[in-house]
Each structure stands twice: as C-alpha cells, then as structure tokens.
C-alpha cells in the first residue's frame, strides 16, 4: 500500500495537517526499520522483492537479534506439534514413508498431500510444545510494537496449549478466526479393528481450523496507539464491513499446490484476508517466523505490505524463492464453496 491508499483508508473523514504529520512519521519509521531488518544478521537470505525478504534462520535465534519494537504484526502457521517437522519425520515425509505423516489414498483420481497424524501427545511432548510456544511468544512480545497483533494457526487438538502459552507470556487474547474447512484429520475407525468397530469414530472429523488472535498490550487509547505505532486495531474489509472471525475457505487447490508443494500450504484467498487485516492503516512490517513456502510473504506482497520471514528448512527456503512470485500474482476470487467429503488437509 502506498501513501495515497493509506490516506484514503485511515479515516472516514478528511485528514487534517496534524493527521498528515503523524502518518508521515509512521512511514518514515517503517522505512528505517525495513532497511535494518532485511539486512540484519549474516544468515543466507532471498530478497524476494522490494517488499519481501526470506531469511534462512531458526525463528528463536533471529528474534533474539531483533531490536525491541521493530515489527508490527505476525501471521504464521507454525509446526503444531513440532515432532512432524523434526529432521527424522521430515526425511520420512520426503521419502514417502510417512513417519507421523499420513500418506492418504487417492480420491476421485486426485492424489492427496500428506497430513500429520498425531492424535495423542505424551506428557513430554506437551511440555516441549508449551515451552516452544512460550519461547516464541516471549520473543514476539519484545520485538512487536505496542498494539501489534499476532495471528497464529493451530488445530483443535493443541490450540488450548498453544494459545495459553501466549497469554501466560503477556499477550492479550483478542479472539480467534475460525476457518471453516473440512480436513483429513480425525473421522477414522479404530486402527486395526475397522471391521470390528465399523460404527465407531475415534475422534471427530475436523471441519474447522482455529487461528488465535493476540495483541501486545499498550497504554492509552486505541486512537493514540494508532497515531503512535500504527497498530492496536484490525483493518476493516470496507467502511461498511468489519473484519469478521469466521471465514469459509476450502482446502488449497491444485494450482497453488503445484506452485508450492508444501505439506501445510494455506490458500492465498484465505491468507490475504488475514494479512490485510493485521495492519490497520496499511503501515508497518509483517513477520512470519515459520515462513515455509513463503505463502504469507506472497499474501503480503499481493496486498502491498512489507514482510519478512524466517525458516530453518533449506528446502522450503529454496521453494519460496521459486513460489513467491507466482503465488503473489495468483488471481483469487470470492466463492461460496461447496463442501466435499474428501478434501485436501490444508
């Protein structure tokens, strides 16, 4: 978004000279932060465009290097249980042998992408999960500007633990975005005894995906924080329509999967809605700690935002360099999409 667009969306009434002054100051600070952030550290990186940079780095290590109050919003789809993205299970996934990844059958002639299959976490895994997200939350709390928002994906199995870690770290929970989407998670009969218990489902078939919304606390009013940092609220869909917390969006389709064959790729028509909402004035820098194929960065590019992502997986780092431009240029449409009994998982 350029300055002219910002002035058209920042207020429903004409802007005064004082308004122009604080908007200019916000933009100037954004420019300085952007120059610093995209060149910070010695890690390998792709400058995907003038507005997007991808750094090959562990998120926690990179966050530790960031100055305080240097990013404005976060949109990310992290490893839900971590074990599916450890080195052992990623190697099995890439060899097609599964590990904790389920290699689903073909439906109606369409090959489906793998999905993580863990349904029960051990006490040790729960503690590791909580500790991991607590570390992420503490890092983000320091580096986000006051009033900055975090949109973080989860699933019904682990969202309670994930979201609690953010609250305990000092974030304000501001609600959840519920993505209505049928997945391959759940709905199965008891393994090895499917015929004996044909009428039993071990857990519900998942038909929704929770994205937690969190905000770094700030002092004073929302209006004051908007003028000081450009944050504290969410960008409306239009003057007449607010951003809403239920979004129906079917799984990622073949064209996007072909561009970026990441096992948990989220569709651009969904990601662009979240990304657009997270910067209320269109000013600031978006960060994705777990950038994967670069789909969040591509969504930010499509709506005109500056963004930076990190990921420690070299293969996904290379994938993003190829996928970023075609993903960002995809033409997406608003559809009332019918449900299907055999969807992709993402």
**What pLDDT, on the 0 to 100 scale, is given for residue 184?**
73
Alpha carbons 196 and 317: distance in angstroms, whole number: 46
Burial 50-82 (b: 16+ CB within 10 A, else e): ebbbbbbbebeebbeebeebbbbbbbbbbebbb
Contact 158, 80 (CB under 8 A): yes
**What pLDDT, on the 0 to 100 scale, is given for residue 105?**
42
Strand extents, DSSP E, the chain:
45-49, 52-56, 71-76, 101-102, 115-116, 144-153, 172-180, 208-215, 246-248, 285-288, 306-311
Q: Closest by alpha carbon to 305, among 279, 333, 267?
A: 279
Contact 312, 58 (CB under 8 A): yes
Given a cut of 50, the residues of the chain with pLDDT beneath it are 1-4, 7-12, 82, 84-85, 90, 93-94, 99-113, 335-344
> What are the tens digits of pLDDT across the range 26-49?
999 999 999 999 999 999 999 999
> What are the tens digits of pLDDT across the range 113-124?
455 555 567 788
Going by the DSSP 8-state scheme, the letter that residue 106 receives in this structure is P
**What pLDDT, on the 0 to 100 scale, is given for residue 88?**
56
**What pLDDT, on the 0 to 100 scale, is given for residue 111?**
46
């Amino acid at each position: 978004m350029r300055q002219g667009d910002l002035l058209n969306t920042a207020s429903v009434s004409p802007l005064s000279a004082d308004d122009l002054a604080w908007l200019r100051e916000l933009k100037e600070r954004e420019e300085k932060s952007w120059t610093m952030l995209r060149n910070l550290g010695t890690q390998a990186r792709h400058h995907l465009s003038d507005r997007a940079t991808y750094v090959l780095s562990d998120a926690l290590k990179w966050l530790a290097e960031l100055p305080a109050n240097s990013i404005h919003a976060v949109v990310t789809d992290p490893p839900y249980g971590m074990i599916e993205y450890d080195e052992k299970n990623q190697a099995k996934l890439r060899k097609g042998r599964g590990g904790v990844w389920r290699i689903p059958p073909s439906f109606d002639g369409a090959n489906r992408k793998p999905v993580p299959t863990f349904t029960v976490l051990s006490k040790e895994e729960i503690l590791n999960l909580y500790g991991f997200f607590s570390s992420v939350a503490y890092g983000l709390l320091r580096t986000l500007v006051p009033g900055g928002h975090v949109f973080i994906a989860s699933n019904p199995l682990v969202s309670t633990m994930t979201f609690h870690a953010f609250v305990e770290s000092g974030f304000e929970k501001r609600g959840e975005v519920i993505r209505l989407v049928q997945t391959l998670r759940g709905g199965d009969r008891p393994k090895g005894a499917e015929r004996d218990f044909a009428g039993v489902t071990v857990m519900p078939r998942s038909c929704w995906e929770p994205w937690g919304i969190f905000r770094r606390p700030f002092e004073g009013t929302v209006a004051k924080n908007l003028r000081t940092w450009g944050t504290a609220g969410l960008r409306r869909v239009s003057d007449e329509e607010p951003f809403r917390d239920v979004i129906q969006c079917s799984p990622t389709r073949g064209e996007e999967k072909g561009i970026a064959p990441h096992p948990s790729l989220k569709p651009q028509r969904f990601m662009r809605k979240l990304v657009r909402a997270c910067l209320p004035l269109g000013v600031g820098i978006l960060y994705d700690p777990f950038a994967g194929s670069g789909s969040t960065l591509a969504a930010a590019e499509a709506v005109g935002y500056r963004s930076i992502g990190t990921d420690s997986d070299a293969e996904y780092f290379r994938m993003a360099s190829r996928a970023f431009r075609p993903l960002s240029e995809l033409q997406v449409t608003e559809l009332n999409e019918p449900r299907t009994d055999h969807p992709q998982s993402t």
